[in-house]
Amino acid sequence: MFTIGTDNGHGRTGTLRTGSGRIPTPFFMPDATRAAVRGTTAAEIAQSGIGAIVVNTYHLMLQPGAMLVRDAGGIHRFMGWEGPVLSDSGGYQIYSLIHRNPEMGKITEEGAEFKSVLDGSKHLLTPERAIAIQFDLGVDMMVVLDDPRPNDVPETEISEAVERTIRWAKRSREEFDRQIAARGLSDESRPLLFGVVQGGMFPELRTRCAEGLREIGFDGYGFGGRHVDAEGNFLEDIVRHTAAVIPVESVRFALGVGTPEDIVRCHALGWDMFDCVIPTREGRHGRLFLRKKKLTTDNLQLTTGDFYETINIHNERFTADFTPIDPDCDCPLCANHTASYLHHLFRVNDPLGSRLASTHNLRFYARLMEQLHKEKVKTEE
RNA sequence: GUGGCCAUCGUUCAACGGUUAGGACUUCGGUUUGUGGUACCGAUAAUCAGGGUUCGAUUCCCUGUGGCCACC
């Protein structure tokens, strides 16, 4: 499933084999939470150089429902995307929902109880149900339901969340194996399963969680919780430590990472997979990522983000800027349009603006990953 | 031409004769890290002109200018 290649100086490279094709690591996945990378088509995603996407169990179970996606022929056919698809379990989303408004649900040993934001109906997402839903979705990579906590809660609470995450992971694994057997899937055709390492900012709890998950056994392991503090500062020590307690032969998934510099840092610390809303969300709101010369000179500094810059296309200075956003970019926006035109599209609030900005940012992220992957991967054919 | 009504940020609405004339939209900046994001935060910006009454006028009175409505 995961074949480690070389370390090219940026971090380790490799190849991950999924039911929908191989994908070189490191790679970045945009979030198509509700089965859409907002405002873009599957063809545009693929054209930007993005190899895999992330959908969300929590969102899709509510709308349109796992059964409907299954009846549509699975998530790939449903959304017209042929590449690898990973589904997040929804643990983080429910935690966010409850953290924001305790009235919306609660976490019990059985699972996560929550009220639907759509109609107020009550739901219980158990570890088993999360796995079953992901099988119905027909994804290539699954994530177990976990129990995330904010970084600033007491250690005892984090510790309890770690133990629960491990117990849930075990239940998830058992349900996963049942589903494999019931569906008669082979080791070649089955999806990959990821555990999630929790433990907040406490190294010993991260270690404990990773060990508990290793005993159960997963194809890959994720970094759970948040990798930055409240001010957005990168938590280098805990990110490094967590990678180190995950088996070296397993693929490592840094959930929710992140800014370009955070991805570069995480990759240097041993992480292989990333997903984040940033390129599309910020694109929708008019922020564009621009490569700076340093990116092409191999000077990927770990401590700064100076290999790129961002612009806000709303700014007045673009009103009559008839040059491309980035002359060195080959995305549909930069290849065919001027900054002035994009500025205009945002000003008149045409969806084409956020679409072009999103695909531009995805192209930026894809090229960043290509850069990190620069040296050829030794693949075992 | 006669009568009536009206005139406040770019726009549209507030403000008893009484603190620094307020909101919404626009505009100008910024924020966004396993997407409840068509979201959020901040800033700039106005009493039509000239007189009068008053301790004090966006508010009351007069004149002018401009607009809207009705009637010849």
For residue A376, the model assigns a pLDDT of: 42
The continuous run of DSSP H or E covering A69 comes out as helix A66-71
Q: What is the pLDDT of residues A316-352, one digit of tens each?
A: 888 888 999 999 999 999 999 999 999 989 988 888 9
For residue A377, the model assigns a pLDDT of: 41
Given a cut of 80, whether residue A301 has pLDDT beyond it is no
Q: What is the pLDDT of residues A162-183, one digit of tens each?
A: 999 999 999 999 999 999 999 9
The pLDDT > 70 percentage for chain A reads: 95
Q: How far is the CA of A191 from the C1' of B72 (A)?
A: 88
For residue A294, the model assigns a pLDDT of: 58
Nucleotides of B under 7 A from a protein CB: 27-39
For residue A350, the model assigns a pLDDT of: 87
The pTM assigned to this predicted structure is 0.92
Given a cut of 60, whether residue A295 has pLDDT beyond it is no
Average pLDDT, whole number, for chain A?
Answer: 92
Q: How far is the CA of A81 from the C1' of B53 (A)?
A: 78
Query: How far from A170 is each of A167, A200, A278, A332, A345, CA to CA, in Å?
Result: 5, 20, 32, 46, 50
For residue A315, the model assigns a pLDDT of: 86
Q: How far apart are CA A225 and CA A219, in angstroms?
A: 20
Q: How far is the CA of A365 from the C1' of B53 (A)?
A: 71
Question: What are the catalytic residues of A?
Answer: 88, 275
Opening angle at CA A173, ends A56 and A20, nearest 5? 50
Q: What is the pLDDT of residues A205-236, one digit of tens each?
A: 999 999 999 999 999 999 999 999 888 889 99
Given a cut of 70, whether residue A304 has pLDDT beyond it is no
Mean pLDDT for A17-22 is 96
Mean pLDDT for A266-289 is 96
For residue A293, the model assigns a pLDDT of: 63
Asked if A14 and A377 count as a contact pair (C-beta separation under 8 A), the reply is yes
For residue A302, the model assigns a pLDDT of: 54
The pLDDT > 90 percentage for chain A reads: 79
Residue A81 CB lies within 7 Å of the nucleic strand B: no
Given a cut of 60, whether residue A272 has pLDDT beyond it is yes
Q: What is the pLDDT of residues A151-162, one digit of tens each?
A: 989 999 999 999
Opening angle at CA A27, ends A180 and A17, nearest 5? 35
**Nucleotide nearest to A261 in CA–C1' terms:** B33
For residue A100, the model assigns a pLDDT of: 82
Given a cut of 70, whether residue A298 has pLDDT beyond it is no
Q: What ipTM did this prediction achieve? A: 0.88
Q: What is the pLDDT of residues A26-67, one digit of tens each?
A: 999 999 999 999 999 999 999 999 999 999 999 999 999 999
For residue A168, the model assigns a pLDDT of: 98
For residue A349, the model assigns a pLDDT of: 85
Residue A232 CB lies within 7 Å of the nucleic strand B: yes
For residue A305, the model assigns a pLDDT of: 61
Asked if A146 and A91 count as a contact pair (C-beta separation under 8 A), the reply is yes
In eight-state DSSP terms, residue A325 is S
